[in-house]
Structure 1
Amino acid sequence: MTIGISDGRYFVRAAKTLVNEGRTDSARRILQYVLEKPQDLPTLRELQDLGRLLPKDQGDAFRLERWIGYQRPVAETPRCLTILDEISEVNWSADFNCIRLNRTEDNEQFREEIYDFILIESAWIGNDSDWIYAFTSSGLEHPYSKTLVSKLIYLRENLDKPIIMVNKEDPMHFEKFLPIMKYADHIFTTGEEMVECYRQQTSALTVTAMPFAADMTLTNPVGRIDEPQENLCFAGSYYGQGHDERVRQMNYLLEPITTFNGVIYDRQSANDDPIYRFPERFAPHIRASVSFRTMAELYRRFRVFLNVNTIVSSPTMMARRVYELLACGTPVVSTPSRAMEEQFSGIVPIASNATEACREVEKLLADENHWWRTSQKGIREITLKHQYKHRAALMRSVVWGNTISDYRPLVSILITLDHPLFLNSIIECIRKQTYPRTDAIFIVSEDIPADELELIENRLKAALHIEQVTFLRHPIHMPLGTKIEAAISVARGEFFAVFDDRDLYLPNYLTDMILTFEFSNADVAGKLTHPVWQIRGNALSLANPANEHKMTSYLNSSTLVGYMSWMRKLLSETNDQTHGFNILQATDEAGGKLYSADHFNFISFQQSEMPAHTEVQLFSGHEKLLASPELIAEWSV
């Protein structure tokens, strides 16, 4: 049975009185009774505060040794009362139902049935400037500061709802926001190096490092290929005084702006203070500051962005803009920092002087393949690890004790084995996929011996990601659509992926294709732009260039990946029993969305040449490509 709020506080306060009287043993017996019961948050807060008042060898006994979460259910999209700046409110709203904490309302807004927790960040002004100076006034003497502190005290003393605070300004502004952070139950900081400082200086139940992230509903690569493109951009402020290291970095990193006709969006363009004025040589390149939503659209309109790191030694802190740019597929050239090295090594080029900065920018602007590879690596890394949904999962794990799920949906690979000479190649393509959960459904002709199918199954099952292998026999002249329909009827996956046994599917093919559904809002994805192996010329060329990362009306039929639920919906509505099922046509007729992904990790054969060649000739050309790993590597990311 949980001790009630009033009873729990009574016991803890009684113990505090005994401690002040020097009767520590008596206090310990009372607290032992409290600790044996499930505690509400106001009681836990009192316990944590008491522990901080005592010498460490005594106080630790009164504080929780290890927080294991509230061990209670929380809604899939929990409701929270918030104080957030505009950008953060947009970012968190996909995972939480955010309700602004109104400064002018009384405590009626805290009625328990309307929210699950409080989410407060280190806000300079809050949304619509509602909390300006509330966090940062000297001694918290500003009227808005006093209002905020009053609300936090009321929450801590009376309500059993967790207060979660995020300091997105760590480590630089740790001291400035610390007076408010002390009211948190759970602290998340952008500076991992500040975790111990918070543990020493606050009574928080938990302190956890949490870097920035990207909201891929807002910042993503969809449609960037059709946007007008400029070369180079920097967005931010210049500081003529203080921040000496930042000024040094900016002076060399911005050199490519003049060399490559770049632009600067000056965050302080409305400020007349000369300390914020960029050096005169950049004046022709300056543009006025824009809103966050406008800047998010501009991310896709530049080939390269520049990034300066004010904080260079933190393993976790870097500008939120870096995550957003990479999510958009925009390469970033940055000054050095520990966080950049630990999170985006091999993805974000680092420049330590003006020469290196110009060289890295020039390489991205001049080398199309290098630009695309860098772009795709960034998209993949953000989609896999650095979305706000990942940060929300971390928050749920720390605060409520929820397990962070590493669930990946099962993908059913559908393959028609019509070309026996290519069998070994397609098996190796499937075996080497990096995507962690697949099963394989082979549609095979009736004359393939059972022992040969057993060998195929054994080879595939040796790969850890393959959960099941199924064979469906069919008459030799069955239409392809009918074969795919038969495979769908036995498929277990949440996604399907159509493979052609003559084409090459490189290791990260499925990983990247499934990731497109995180941001494309498509029903079926595939590749319209992709490399083609020209058998006669023994060369690779890019088919349908400039159709990457966009909605489309056509895709290569050997690259179709989509939701199984969508496929089954289409099958239930089709009436064509003559020509077999056509995924692209059916999707178009049903008003579905097709998405053309990147052009990497798949190589097809030039379809127009195939009728003029025997299968042996085709196989010979196929083998020549496999014998040229350097060519394949150019299209593998």
Structure 2
Amino acid sequence: MDSLEQKLFDIKRKKILIKQNKINQIPYKYIENSDWLMRVTDNIFFNKKDNTFIVDQARDEKTFLSYKEANFDYSILPNSKSELNLNKGTLKVNFIGEVEGDLEVFLQIDEYTKNEHYRTHFIKLNENNEINLDSKIYNIRLAISIKGAGKFKINEASIDGSNFWIDSSMNIKENYSYIPEYNWYYSNNDKIVYDKVISGFFISSVDQTESLIYGGPSFKTELDHEHKNVENHYVEFYGKKDKDVKVELLILYTINSTTKKVSISLNESRTIEVPKNANSYKIYLEVQGKGFFKIEDIIISGFNYWPSKSEDIEEDLISIENPNNIINLNQQNIKNWNQHGLKLSYNKWNQQFKVNLKGKQFLSLSINEYEKFIPAKGKIYEILPKGKVSEKVKLSLGIIAKLPDNNKKVYQIPFNFIKFIQFPETILDIDFYLKVEGNGYFSGLTVEIKENPEEVTSEVILSLEKEDWFTNLNQVTLRNTEDSLVIQSKLDSGVNKYISYRESNNTFNIPPTLSILNINPNSSYEFNIRVTKDDTVQLIPMIVGYSEDEKIEVQQIKVNAKTIIKPHPGITSIRIALRLGGKGECIINSFTIKEKPIITSKAIPSYANKLEVEKTQIVEPKPISEIRMAVIFDEFTESCFKHECKVIKFSPDNWMEVLTREQPDLLMVESAWKGNDGTWERRVGSYGEENNRPLFELIDWCNENGIPTVFWNKEDPIHFERFINIAKLFDYVFTTDENTVPKYIERLGHTRVGAMPFAAQPKIHNPIKFVDEREEKACFAGSYYSHHKERSIDMEALLDAASEFGLDIFDRNYEKTSKGLMPNHTFPDRFKPFIKGSLRYYEIDKAYKGYKVTMNVNTVKLSDTMFSRRVYESLACGTPVVSNYSKGIVNMFNGIVFSSDKYEELKTYFRDLLKNEEIYKRISHLGIREVLNKHTYKLRLFNIVSKLGISVNASLPEVTVIGIADNSDDLEYLIEQFNRQSYKNKKLFILVDTFTNYDKYYKLYNNDQIQLYIKDYVIDKYPNIVEWVDTEFISFFSKDDFYGKNYLHDLVNATNYTNADFIGKKSYCENLEGKIVVNQEESEYEFVTELEPANCIVRTTVFSKESFRQLYSKLLKNELFTGYYKQGRQLLSVDNFNYIKNGRNYTGDTNELEI
């Protein structure tokens, strides 16, 4: 490296040190591959080929080499603590080397107390010495003092056997220099220089590449050991470099006798397919150019091959004496630790985990493969999670106690702290997890657990002598038998009396005169009374608590079981009484009270953010409508999601203020062209760093505040490259094109990627009537693209086929094409008679609901999931769709959407839909159901938040079906109709008379889903139905009618698009003398004024002001629900499928009606 290059690199080095806030280190640099520094301005030079120093200074001039300290002022206290044992008082020093010229070389050892410099020792080169240390010495510092001019070489500078001078020739291997803190080797020549102060390299090699090799030239990582049976490696390669420097990471896989090389450029993440049968791999860097570069992370499936310098962490760890269990936590039993990329990685070389989390970010890692145990009742557990944890890392052991009824209790213990926990007595199991926060390192983790007996601070054994128990009743006598108290009761039925302990009155408002025990507010009390008694006697022990002057509370305790009571804080004393009832004998065998200190566990969870609370799944899932989602959306997407959750919009100028106030659950950004009313135009996507800066800052803020981030590219596959670099910033990535998922995984270097196609928003796109009669035509609303050859051919085939049966076109560009503008978007002349103008977005119902068929043209035809929104939206409106060919449509709507590029097939589709009403209605109905079941924006949102670990409830409402059965045949028929229903969130209440053998059915069918009730009992007991039924909806099944399997499902599905109080079938099928007739066929999907009880669902609260007896009468007679609309209630009539009035005895085929 010539002198000019050296000067340029020195300038670059100074800039880096200033930026790193290491100004004090600018005058100093490390002697290559050592911990010794020299001043860059001094005339001392190091030749790494023969490890000699040349000094060119005046005879009386002096310079130094300093060990680990970037200064030559020995009066100040050193920054680093000496690794030597200074307590023994003496140090044996060997200082050996070679010297030429007029040169004096000394090893300088400075002593320090905790507060100041104490004295200095000098050991001349090639002299051995033993120095004595004062007892108050706390630290020492090493330096080499050099006076005069000449040449010297140091072979050893050892103290008590520890050599502090590492001969750099030991760090040369096959012409490579060694970097011990990273376990990397680099070319040993003047073309590449490593600077330890800035942990970076200077290179001057334009004509050839220089290599850096992990572990040495012959080192390989065995796949069987490190990454056994993996299909992919997830690689992240990050650092800094000058623009004229090229840095590439290469992974060389060995497959038996062959190799395969994969390269990744600096600041890229990639997913690499591991070659089949590969048995090892080697990693190295190739660097070329002139300038500076620095490697920060090389992570391969969680293993970091170039971590930042590890920290010296105090090893003085506490321990539990004689623990019962020790759990080792390492990369083998910390589950999925290697799936978090830069956030958490492991370095085999120094056996440390590296944490890189921002602000409120956290990781919750399950622990498996350890010897599980169930905490014993009444035991206290001393638990110590311990390990080497750096200062800026917050590490906690999480414990989830599993309790009955799916309840849980969470504990968290910081590492290197002991906590005492007494688990609930009802505990069923426990799980451990590791919670990680902060930035730094940890290693050597274990958990020590010791089981300790419960502490009893005081015990009272109550006297059972009859003289100690007071009663003044002739009907109650007391006597003693051996060690027991015998109570003989002759009390009449319904009479209860009291016996008091050591108090000669039964007036319990009076505080006791004698103290049984002093009540400690920091203790709990275990009461245990053992009794033998006749079944005819009732005995309830009572504890009465008092303050100094009044009664505070009364509590009952169990007989022949332990009762633990935590007294009210104001209680200072107690009385004990027995409440007695009935006739017979009662024997008290023992009565004890134990005082136990309350274990006030400080293992209280400290939640990083609300997402962590969600992940514990302790709180009830909140309704999906309560999700708060910060968004950057275009208009269409916003309109679809805003009906499902709280959508929070913001601009590049006010995002921080808005999000700080609103505290969203997540951030979701789509591949927006305009974004939030145009405020984010050209700021999402690759439009240059300056345009993207607000988005970068927004995502950084979300990371700092623990808000998960989601990106949705709705423009794949066409605009993949436009948005891929933005997608890299997000926690999760979704795409409309499932075929692009592998490409994302490859480019992002992780698997947090999934397909999320378009959907429908039922609040906007639904089958509720827009016009009384639809046009008996097909409708196309969109644009023509003559410059997209395949698309225009497909579109013309569709339009030609439709034109034979009825066609209207709404041209999106009509205002311009009608004036001769936009020729590439002008429809061919033969279609111009069909053009009716254009439609605004708010007029889209005219296309979706005003015509019997809509048409769709796809530009992307081979995607498994990507096709136009209009397909979902039209189907949700009950409008069948005919489309050019799309693989995705065929996959997702086969048999529902007609998709083809063939003209004759398209003609057949249009003919079937426009000329065959039976086919039309069937396809229309199936399309509505398929979209509502699988393709709504509520379901898309549920999928997103579930991936993030946010617990929500997005289920459809529960329905209670009510039936009335006069006999066993009615009952079995109603149960058959109920069991046929495909809808799962349901239960059946049957009101029965006391017919013959009704009790047999009562025992047979009373379960969680089906319950039988005596009719008169329910009518008398429940004045109102809301006191009997707790579900959101009720439905009445008539014993005379037929209910198809999707009857309930279709009715409940309508709640996706309407808040109507009654949803039913004003239009319905009826069995009249064996023939099916359709009543009021025109009344589908419209609001009506009346519905029959037997063919609708109703919001239960509608009847909250109506007597149950009155409602029962309506159900029994199937009396029309009429008049409710006058109260402001809405009644919606939907389809006429899946129900036949009087269908119980219908013997014909129901398949045509049961869709």
TM-score range, shorter chain: 0.7 to 0.9
Whole-Å separation in 2 of the counterparts to 1:306 and 1:53: 42
For 1:49 and 1:583, the matched residues in 2 are separated by: 74
Matches within 5 A, 1:341-360: 341-360=890-909
What amino acid is aligned across from residue 187 of structure 1 in structure 2?
V
Against the structure 1 CA distance between its residues 292 and 65, is the aligned structure 2 distance closer, same or farther, given a 3 Å change threshold? farther
Name the amino acid aligned to 2:752.
T
Distance, in Å, in 1 between the alignment partners of 2:1024 and 2:1072 is 32
Partner of 1:236: 782
Moved more, 96-105 or 255-264: 96-105
Q: Quote the offset at 1:511 in angstroms.
A: 0.9
Moved more, 14-23 or 595-604: 14-23
Deviations 1:548-572 (A, max 9, x none): 11111111231131222333x2426
Query: Secondary structure of the equivalent of 2:766?
Result: coil
1:169 to 715, 719, 734: 715
Match of 1:470 among 1006, 1009, 1012: 1012
Larger radius of gyration: 2
Residue 595 of structure 1, aligned match among 1128, 1132, 1139: 1132
1:597, CA displacement in angstroms? 1.5
Is the alpha carbon distance of 1:553 and 1:524 closer, same or farther for their aligned partners in structure 2, counting shifts above 3 Å? same
1:616-635 → structure 2 map (5 Å cutoff): 623=1145, 625-626=1146-1147, 628-629=1148-1149, 632-635=1150-1153
Report what 1:445 is aligned to.
Answer: 993
In the other structure, the counterpart of 1:252 is 797
With over 3 angstroms needed to count, the CA separation of the structure-2 counterparts of 1:135 and 1:357, relative to structure 1, is same
Q: What is the alpha-carbon distance in structure 2 between the residues aligned to residue 79 and residue 275 of structure 1?
A: 43
CA offset at residue 296 of structure 1? 3.9
C-alpha deviations, 1:110-151, integer Å up to 9, x for none?
Answer: 647554443221122335444444456xx625xxx733x111
Label 1:474 to 1:312 Cα distance change in 2 as closer, same or farther (>3 A): same
Aligned mates of 1:45, 1:521 — CA distance in 2? 53
Distance 2:894 2:674 in 1: 34
Instruction: Return the TM-score normalized by structure 2.
Output: 0.45
Instruction: Give the structure 1 partner of residue 870 of structure 2.
Output: 321
Amino acid of the structure 1 residue aligned with 2:1140: I
Q: Which residue of 2 aligns with 1:150?
A: 693
**Per-residue deviation, 1:635:** 0.8
CA displacement, residues 180-217 of structure 1 (integer Å, 9 cap, x when unaligned): 33333321110111112222223677222111111111
Where does residue 763 of structure 2 map in the other structure?
217
Between the two proteins, what is the percent identity of the paired residues?
Answer: 28
C-alpha change, 1:72 and 1:482, in structure 2 (3 Å) is: closer
What pairs up with 1:95-494 in 2 under 5 angstroms? 95-103=644-652, 111=660, 114-135=663-684, 140-141=687-688, 146-147=690-691, 149-160=692-703, 161-202=707-748, 206-224=752-770, 226=772, 228-242=774-788, 244-269=789-814, 270=816, 272-296=821-845, 298-398=847-947, 400-402=948-950, 407-418=955-966, 425-450=973-998, 453-454=1001-1002, 457=1004, 467-474=1009-1016, 489-494=1027-1032
What is the identity, as a one-letter code, of the residue corresponding to 2:767? P
Structure with the larger strand share: 2
Q: Secondary structure of the residue that 1:199 maps to in structure 2?
A: helix
Change (3 A) 1:82 1:49: farther
What's the offset of the Cα at 1:100? 3.0
What is the CA-CA distance between 1:316 and the residue it aligns to? 1.3
- Residue type at the aligned position of 1:369: E
Match of 1:4? Answer: none
Q: Is the 1:496–1:563 Cα contact (8 Å) retained in structure 2?
A: yes
Structure 1 residue 426: Cα displacement = 3.6
User: Residue 331 of structure 2 aligns with which residue?
Assistant: none
Cα-to-partner distance string for 1:414-443 (whole Å, 9 max, x where unaligned): 112247766554442222111113322222
Structure 1 gap ranges (5+) = 1-8, 26-43, 606-620
Give me the whole-angstrom Cα distance separating, in 2, the residues matched to 1:380 and 1:392.
Answer: 19
Alpha carbons of structure 1 residues 577 and 156: separation in structure 2 relative to 1, 3 Å: closer
Distance in 2 of aligned mates of 1:285 and 1:345: 29
Match for 2:1070: what amino acid? V
Q: Displacement of 1:497 after TM fit?
A: 0.9
Q: Structure 1 residues 510 and 340, CA, compared in 2 at 3 Å: closer, same or farther?
A: same
State the SS of the aligned residue for 2:723. helix
The more displaced of 121-130 and 337-346 is 121-130
Task: Give the alignment partner of residue 82 of structure 1, picking from 623, 628, 631.
Answer: 631
Structure 1 or 2: larger helix share?
Answer: 1
Corresponding position of 1:526 = 1064
In structure 2, relative to structure 1, the CA distance for the partners of 1:104 and 1:411 (3 Å cut) is: closer
* CA distance in 1 between partners of 2:901 and 2:1086 (Å): 35
Are the counterparts in 2 of residues 333 and 350 from structure 1 also a CA contact under 8 Å?
Answer: yes
Q: In structure 2, do the counterparts of structure 1 residues 294 and 603 end up closer, same or farther at CA, with 3 Å as the change threshold? A: same
Q: Matches of 1:177 and 1:289 in 2, distance apart?
A: 31
Any gaps of 5 or more consecutive residues in structure 2? 1-19, 22-180, 185-197, 203-211, 216-235, 240-263, 273-280, 282-297, 304-336, 341-362, 365-610, 616-621
Distance 2:1023 2:913 in 1: 44
Query: Contact (CA 8 Å) 1:332, 1:348: kept in 2 or not?
Result: yes
Task: Name the TM-score, length of structure 1 as normaliser.
Answer: 0.78
CA offsets 1:272-297 (integer angstroms, 9 cap, x no match): 22222222111111233323222145
Provide Cα deviations, 1:326-352, integer angstroms capped at 9, x if missing partner: 111111122232211221122212334
Which residue in the other structure is 1:610 paired with? Answer: none
- Alignment partner of 2:1090: what SS? coil
Q: CA deviation at 1:544?
A: 1.1
> 3-state DSSP class of the match of 2:1040?
coil
Instruction: Give the Cα–Cα distance (whole angstroms) in 1 for the partners of residues 930 and 1021 of structure 2.
Output: 36
